[in-house]
Amino acid sequence: MNSSRSNHSATLLQDGRVLLAGGVTDRSNTQTQTAELYDPGTGKFTSAGNMATSRSGHSAALLSNGRVLIVGGGASAEFYDPTTNTFLPAPGVSDNRCYAVATLLADGRVLIAGGADCSNTLLDTAEIYDPSTRQSTPTGNLVAAQAYNTATLLPDGRVLLVGGRPSVLTQIYDPATGSFTFGPRPASPMWGSHTATRLPDGSVLLLAGGDDVEIYK
């Protein structure tokens, strides 16, 4: 890569390239505002310019129009536009969050839920960002505050939140009702280094960061 980084975002673009944005670049946790693109056709990384602000622990979601919404980990939200290779302000996102996950819903809106207030106080609030109005509105609160979790869009349009802090907590968001409910407790703690991948049959593969593997159906 052009720069070493951790706690960054990596987003698959519509043309198959991958946007890597922000993160920290050294052991002193120095945040960066740089971004780069990986092109699988050439196997090379190229600069994608700089975000408006340095950030880490942020979230990124690919929108239906091809732009990437980047929220949290810094003072304000912004878009990455791959057609111009530039970052643009994204007004209307109400809460600054770290370690939350932004999830594209089936209708093109984005769920931004939980996380922390960037001083490690967990949040139980959530909002919905609508790209058509460029505004976010509050939605129902989480049943319990949660951060460092994964969020997976299910085939029926609901969103599954798993682990992080607390490590054995799962919640399900239903956009039809705007509410969260508890999901089934995982058999193994999901500490935040875990991953969640939706499989072709609609189930979710959970890897706990060690030898533990689970399937959510």
Q: pLDDT tens digits for 16-34?
A: 999 999 999 877 788 999 9
Q: Is residue 7 part of a domain?
A: yes
Range of the domain at 42: 1-84
Task: Give the amino acid at 103.
Answer: T
Residue 52 lies in a domain: yes
Band of residue 199 on the pLDDT scale cut at 50, 70, 90: very high
What pTM does this model have?
0.93
Q: Are 169 and 184 in contact (CB under 8 A)?
A: no
Q: For the chain, how many structural domains are there in total?
A: 1
* Digit-coded pLDDT (tens) for 63-120: 999 999 999 887 789 999 999 999 999 988 876 788 889 999 999 999 999 999 877 8
pLDDT of residue 95: 65
* pLDDT at res. 118: 72
211 occurs within a structural domain: no
Which has the higher per-residue pLDDT, 168 or 29?
Answer: 168
The amino acid that residue 167 corresponds to is S
The predicted pLDDT at position 61 comes to 97
Inside any domain, residue 96: no
Specify if 174 maps to a domain. no
Q: Residue 123 in contact with residue 113, Cβ under 8 Å?
A: no
Which amino acid is it at 61?
A: A
Query: 209 or 33, which is more confident?
Result: 33
In a domain, 30, yes or no: yes
Amino acid at 205: L
What three-state secondary structure class fits 97? coil
Any domain includes 169 = no
Name the residue among 158, 183, 159 with its Cα closest to residue 169.
183
Domain annotation covers residue 144? no
